[in-house]
A and B are shown apart, each in its own frame.
Chain A
């Protein structure tokens, strides 16, 4: 039964909110440090099921999540990965009208892209952080509803830094209008 479930999970096609991360293949061996987190529906179900054990807030946040993937790669020197490939992924995702850019930062030798995925009914059902720095590559892909307000409430707990989302939003508004890249 368990193997049948595993087979079903493996055969399940990528959800629209799931990003193809094949460009990261082979980079782990080049990285000084790499970390991988991949939590699927089974693990999310466990977290929800043991809410008393893991803390109600975290369990509450996990309620809307179906899959969480985090890949972090740190390199010893610049140019250890192909920035163009990361840029390609970024361009492809941004070209998809279902992905909406929340924050987009272009800097020398890299970029930061924070996007949300909209379901046909308009609900946010996916979240993506793609960060490329000269010596670091980070991808966070969340399928499901990530309530940033709940996340902000978790700030200061579980080692999660405090986030001042509203403040940041206000600062952005204060800066006025400009041109997109």
Chain B
């Protein structure tokens, strides 16, 4: 019984902290804070990079859609030109066509 008391007392005896413990803890905490800041900088950089990539992707997609739309319109316009040229050619060939003037490469031909 007495032995237990002695051991308990010894275990609960007040002990001084090892020398330099406080400075070690402070140094460790500062190190953690520094890592934390670097972490946030990295996160912010990653977010900025992702936002920039997303913006680039979106603007490229918009440009691509615009290009597709413009190409469709150009196709339509060229189809119209081709149709009109074909129609004019047919009219030129038609016997009832009365007046036609053809001018190509600076040379002019008149016919009836």
Residues of A within 8 A of B (CB): 35, 37, 39, 43-44, 46-47, 49-50, 53-55, 58, 61-62, 65, 68, 70, 72, 100-107, 112, 114, 122, 127, 129, 131, 138, 140, 142, 146, 148, 151, 154-155, 158-165, 167-169, 171-173, 175-181
| Structural contact, A104 and B99, CB atoms closer than 8 A | yes
Q: Which B38-91 residues have C-beta < 8 A from chain A?
A: 63-64, 66-68, 70-71, 73-89, 91
| Structural contact, B74 and A62, CB atoms closer than 8 A | yes
| Structural contact, B75 and A49, CB atoms closer than 8 A | no
| Structural contact, B98 and A151, CB atoms closer than 8 A | no
| Structural contact, B104 and A169, CB atoms closer than 8 A | yes
A39 CB contacts on chain B under 8 angstroms = 70, 73-74, 77
In the complex, B97 has a CB within 8 A of chain A: yes
Distance (Å) between the CB of B62 and the closest chain A CB? 10
Distance (Å) between the CB of B100 and the closest chain A CB? 6
Bound form: Cα–Cα A160–B75 in Å: 7
| Structural contact, A50 and B67, CB atoms closer than 8 A | yes
In the complex, B103 has a CB within 8 A of chain A: yes
Among B79, B81, B99, B109, contact of A105 (Cβ-Cβ < 8 Å): B99
Question: Which B-chain residue is minimally distant from A131 (CB atoms)?
Answer: B84
Question: Which A-chain residue is minimally distant from B63 (CB atoms)?
Answer: A46
| Structural contact, A114 and B100, CB atoms closer than 8 A | no
Question: Which B-chain residue is minimally distant from A176 (CB atoms)?
Answer: B111
| Structural contact, A168 and B92, CB atoms closer than 8 A | yes
Bound form: Cα–Cα A51–B103 in Å: 33
Among B78, B86, B104, B106, contact of A158 (Cβ-Cβ < 8 Å): B78
* Further pairs besides A104-B99, A114-B84: 16, Cβ < 8 Å: A43-B74, A50-B71, A62-B74, A72-B80, A102-B102, A103-B92, A105-B99, A105-B100, A114-B88, A122-B106, A129-B85, A140-B77, A155-B82, A158-B75, A168-B89, A171-B92
Residues of B within 8 A of A (CB): 63-64, 66-68, 70-71, 73-89, 91-93, 97-104, 106, 109-112
Bound form: Cα–Cα A167–B92 in Å: 11
B89 CB contacts on chain A under 8 angstroms = 163-164, 167-168, 171
Among B74, B87, B110, contact of A178 (Cβ-Cβ < 8 Å): B110
Bound form: Cα–Cα A164–B98 in Å: 22
A68 CB contacts on chain B under 8 angstroms = 73-74, 77
| Structural contact, B77 and A103, CB atoms closer than 8 A | no
| Structural contact, A172 and B102, CB atoms closer than 8 A | yes
B71 CB contacts on chain A under 8 angstroms = 47, 50, 53-55, 58
